[in-house]
Structure 1
Amino acid sequence: MNCGKYVQAIFESFQDKNFRWLFFTRFMMQQGVSTVFTFVQYWVSDMVYIPNCWSKEKAVAILMIPLVISAAICSVLFGLLSDRIKRRKPLVISASILMSLSAGCFTVIRGGNLSYYITLALLFVSGIGYGTYLSVDFALLLDILPSIHNKAKDIAVWNQALILPQVLATPIGGFILDFFEQFNCELGLGYIILFAITAAYFFISGIFVVKMDVP
């Protein structure tokens, strides 16, 4: 196997402007998703009132139910809608902004009696955005693949935008959380900064979609 040609083949995909922006925006989206999925269990344990004497493991597991349900339903509905109206970018941008707003709301939740149920509602809303983004972003990928002769290779390169954040999100988020929590752990300053940055990840993933030359 010629390693030089292998590396060259990877970078060939990034010569296309649309592919570069799609990779970047998907990377930022997945960076936000990986951060939420990794740290929500710690956030629930430290900052949320858990009802009915549930364990934090049970509380987090139940929190995932509305997210999974809304994501599954909306991925189908908005995928169909995108095909029907022949538009991708408006749906991707709307989904990203919705997830950004939901993540931003996590910064103001503090252990009141309703905090757990508010979190359930926020994750349901996040699922709407996530499901929409998943289906429409995949369709966007197929629309902008640089070469009809190298589709499998280009998709494999794009797939790194899903994999790399799973490696990077945890150490980056862990550093942010630990660093800022030492200044004010009662306020949950680390979580405030962490979820504010997560909201920025989602916002960036939507806004820069406008750079792509697709409808």
Structure 2
Amino acid sequence: MLDSPSLPAEAPAPQAPPGFVRRLALGQFGLYLAVLAPVMGGLSVKIQHLVGLDAAPAQLGLVAGTGAVFAMVAQPLAGRLSDRCTSRFGMRRPFLVGGVAVMAAALAACAAAPSVPVLLIAWCVAQGAGNFAFAAAGATVADHVPEARRGSVSGIVGAVTPVGILVGSILLSVLPNDFLRFAVPAAVAVVLGLWFAARLPDRVRTEPPTEPLNPRSLLLSFVFDPRKHPDFGWVWLSKFLIMLGYGALAGYLTLFLAAEFGMEDTDEQLRFNALANGLSVAALVVASVVGGVLSDRLGRRKPFVTAAGLIMAAVLAVVTITPYLGDAGLGTLLVLEALLGIGAGLFFAVDNALAISLLPSQDDTAKDLGVLNIANALPSSLSPFLAGVVVIPVGNALLGGAGYSLWFGLAAVFCLVGALLVTRIRSAA
């Protein structure tokens, strides 16, 4: 049953409605499961089956990188349209429902794709639609959660991201074929996403926006002025770099195992992937929840985000040498996955709360969150593009086959620089 109280667009709810956080967490879990399961291994295995191991890195980079463009466009565009929406069903609900439904259909098309071009088109549609839903869901936090609780809520929501990764990895390892590896996560997203949308106490905009919607205003959906809002610019750039580094290992783990450890059986790759993600997620969930609570109690955000980036940078630097450790390499890689989870947990717990406190305008919450979410969504798809098309081939050619080590070393630099940029933020603790 729809619950849509008429609230002025500019009046945020004074407290989170009963059950809102639980439903938001489950809805986000469904979305992350559907989108991240392909990124965490489903796409790479599908492409290996279509074109073989040798051609897989470049083809994976093409598919994921092009999809990233659609993600980049969809997030802020959906945010702008959502802030202006005067539907009687609410400001956010239409984008949640439409995004989830189209994403699920596109993922089913990915599952059945007989060639890379068909997979490319379907994945781009899935990324665009999924990010419409993500933009609307993210805006509900600013709509309904007071500032004092956003660290705790961000920690809870941040924890479901790795749970989605873990469940997705397990599903990838136990489902028997490529079709089910895409379709089952999509079905879960439909059920949980529509349930969240149906129970959402959505804001209803009672008056149309005063500014007309035109090509210029749509273009402004994708930008902000860092000169006017420098702290928002720094938090955007730091998030982008840390997420770009963090996604480096996840996006290419299965191909890394095949190329550097001789693990060419895709089922074996997915089993190791599930074990590694299990260790990472266990550490991430604990660090996320604890980090969010501590951040609220101390009233500090920046130290947690900085520490997270430094931990991830150190872990990725050590990953570069695991192929040279002989029999201990795979075991070391599992330990590093757990340590990476600790760093990521601290980051996911606190970074969102820090970013929301620095939004340029309370009147354009979803639009600004859409711009911010580019830094969150784009790297997870951009990493395979940079790795497969540029860094790994160049590294293999110039460094005697050390392309993966070059890639993970570069990822460590991304995380390090992102962590240091947090110190440039002046208007938050």
Specify the alignment match of 1:75 in structure 2.
288
Specify the alignment match of 2:329 in structure 1.
115
Query: Matches of 1:8 and 1:170 in 2, distance apart?
Result: 28
SS at 1:144's partner residue? coil
Task: Give the drift of 1:160.
Answer: 0.9
Task: Give the drift of 1:38.
Answer: 1.2
Specify the alignment match of 1:198 in structure 2.
411
1:147 pairs, out of 351, 356, 361, with 361
Specify the alignment match of 2:249 in structure 1.
36
1:65 pairs, out of 273, 278, 282, with 278
Query: Matches of 1:148 and 1:55 in 2, distance apart?
Result: 49
Query: Matches of 1:176 and 1:47 in 2, distance apart?
Result: 16
Query: Matches of 1:13 and 1:85 in 2, distance apart?
Result: 31
Question: Which stretches in structure 2 are left out of the alignment for 5+ residues?
Answer: 1-212
Which range is displaced more, 158-167 or 23-32?
A: 158-167
Q: Does 1:212 align with 2:417?
A: no
User: Cα deviation per residue 1:172-196 (whole Å; 9 max; x = unaligned)?
Assistant: 11121112213454xx421221111
The code of the aligned residue for 2:330 comes to Y
Considering only CA atoms, is the larger Rg found in Structure 1 or Structure 2? 2
Query: Matches of 1:149 and 1:62 in 2, distance apart?
Result: 44
The code of the aligned residue for 2:362 comes to I
Distance 1:117 1:143, change over 3 A: same
Specify the alignment match of 1:106 in structure 2.
319
Task: Give the drift of 1:111.
Answer: 5.0
Query: Matches of 1:44 and 1:10 in 2, distance apart?
Result: 37
SS at 1:170's partner residue? helix
Query: Matches of 1:99 and 1:59 in 2, distance apart?
Result: 21
Query: Matches of 1:70 and 1:49 in 2, distance apart?
Result: 28
Specify the alignment match of 1:165 in structure 2.
379
Specify the alignment match of 1:2 in structure 2.
214
Query: Matches of 2:365 and 2:399 in 1, distance apart?
Result: 50
Question: Which stretches in structure 1 are left out of the alignment for 5+ residues?
Answer: none
Specify the alignment match of 2:56 in structure 1.
none
Which TM-score applies when normalising by structure 2? 0.47
How many residues get paired? Answer: 210
2:233 pairs, out of 2, 20, 23, with 20
Give the RMSD, CA atoms, in angstroms: 1.8
2:394 pairs, out of 179, 193, 198, with 179
Distance 1:201 1:150, change over 3 A: same
2:268 pairs, out of 23, 43, 55, with 55
The code of the aligned residue for 2:345 comes to G
Which TM-score applies when normalising by structure 1? 0.90
